[in-house]
A and B are shown apart, each in its own frame.
Chain A
Amino acid sequence: MSISYYPGCTLKTKAKNLETSALAAMKELGIEVEELDRWNCCGAVYSLADDDLIHIIAPVRDLIRVKERGHDTVITLCSMCYNTLARANELMKTDEEKRKTINMFMDEEQDYAGEVRVVHLFDYLRDDYGWDKLKEKIKKPLDGLKVGPYYGCTLLRPKEVALDRPDSPSIFEKFLEILGAEVSNFPLATQCCGTYQAIGNPDAATKISYEILTDAVAHGAEALALTCPLCDYNLGKRQNIMKDKIEGAPEVPVYYFTQLLAVALGLPAEDCHFELNRESAVNLLKEKSYI
């Protein structure tokens, strides 16, 4: 049965490498998804003000689009979109008063009460597809690639939408093991990269991203895998700025988890748009003869 796919704004441009690699991998795995034809921005961050319901409208509209299509599940790839949609869904499921207000406000739409299930590709692979089945599909195991699994915040916090235990998750490690990679665990794997402080307090974001990268390297990682375009920006693209600001900042290849999946499934490198990654990322894969 087909499920809905919500891409979100960044995956169509700056993080095209996350989308194209994921779509190619899902096709190879036989996971049928249909992109919502009228999706809108989820708002990127879930509104934390108790009296602010207007910012819940956007993600709820997306969920109504899924329901209209007759689908019971929507899959996301960007972890910020996952978090925002999943939290809006929780609110609609559990808060009767706010649900009524939101439904009344959107009187042109059908009522919504959290009927759709919001998943991230990670928990879909674990809970619906199954790790064993995924393992059977691996054609080019990433033997000898030492990867640090970087979770960041939005897949694990808050608890209501966490894919795994917030303080000691293992879903990313399991995924990388199945791909055949060598997992380099590191303590700062769940620490924030600074997220939108890249525009508010860029120096602070640079410093904490630097700490994450050096921690991963100190624990044996030669590359980092992640799920979020904003983490990719802070930990990947901004390494150039980091090197200007902090002496001895390391060069660390950074990949989206779906790019490593596509490579391990034996899909062509063109599906991964590696030109959007750091040069060191594509060089490392070539050096190891994975691509």
Chain B
Amino acid sequence: MPLKITSKTVDDNLIRKVREISGQPIYKCYQCGTCTGSCPMVEHIDATPRRLMALVQWGQAEALKDVNTPWVCASCHSCQVRCPRGIELPKVMEALRQIKLRTNENQIEPSNLQPEEIIDLPQIAMVSGFRKMTS
């Protein structure tokens, strides 16, 4: 879908927050797509890491609002080790997650986990999952 980029659709606040929380030089990204080629979750996400970086660079808050990518990202760091520009993409994903979580909104509800699931789940699955997806 084409993006309409005007002064009205560019959200400077989003750009500022992502840069601040991630600490990453987002404008170094030159859209080569190596991250997308490295992403194991690529078939499960609705914006590829490359596209997500473009949306962040252009402050496209509206387009980013319902994108599932940061919530499907497993922080595997494959994109990071291969990025020719040295951008730590998992930190950009983290910033996008944090922007939502810091409004006290959870992405997953721990109370919805079924007892039979919890019996088998290793502790590190719950600790890491809740760290990434609850406020």
Contact = CB atoms under 8 A, between A and B. Distances in A.
- Co-assembled chains A and B: yes
* Residue from A157, A203, A229 with most neighbouring chain B CB atoms (10 Å): A157
Given A196-B74, A200-B133, A230-B122, A158 B128 contact: no
A201 B128 CA distance: 13
B36 interface: no
Given A198-B129, A200-B133, A229 B124 contact: yes
Interface in B97-135: 98, 107-108, 113, 117, 120-129, 131-133
Interface residues of A, number: 47
B113 A44 contact: no
A45 B75 contact: yes
Interface string A162-186: 0000110000000000000000000
A230 B125 contact: yes
A43 interface: yes
B101 to A, nearest CB: 10
Contacts of B122: 10, 14-15, 229-230, 232-233
A197 B77 CA distance: 14
A9 B41 CA distance: 28
Given A47-B94, A196-B132, A232-B122, 6 more contacts: A41-B127, A50-B23, A156-B81, A190-B78, A191-B40, A197-B41
21 contacts: A10-B122, A10-B124, A43-B131, A47-B94, A49-B21, A153-B76, A157-B81, A158-B80, A159-B81, A195-B125, A195-B128, A196-B128, A197-B129, A198-B129, A200-B72, A200-B107, A200-B133, A201-B44, A204-B41, A208-B40, A233-B121
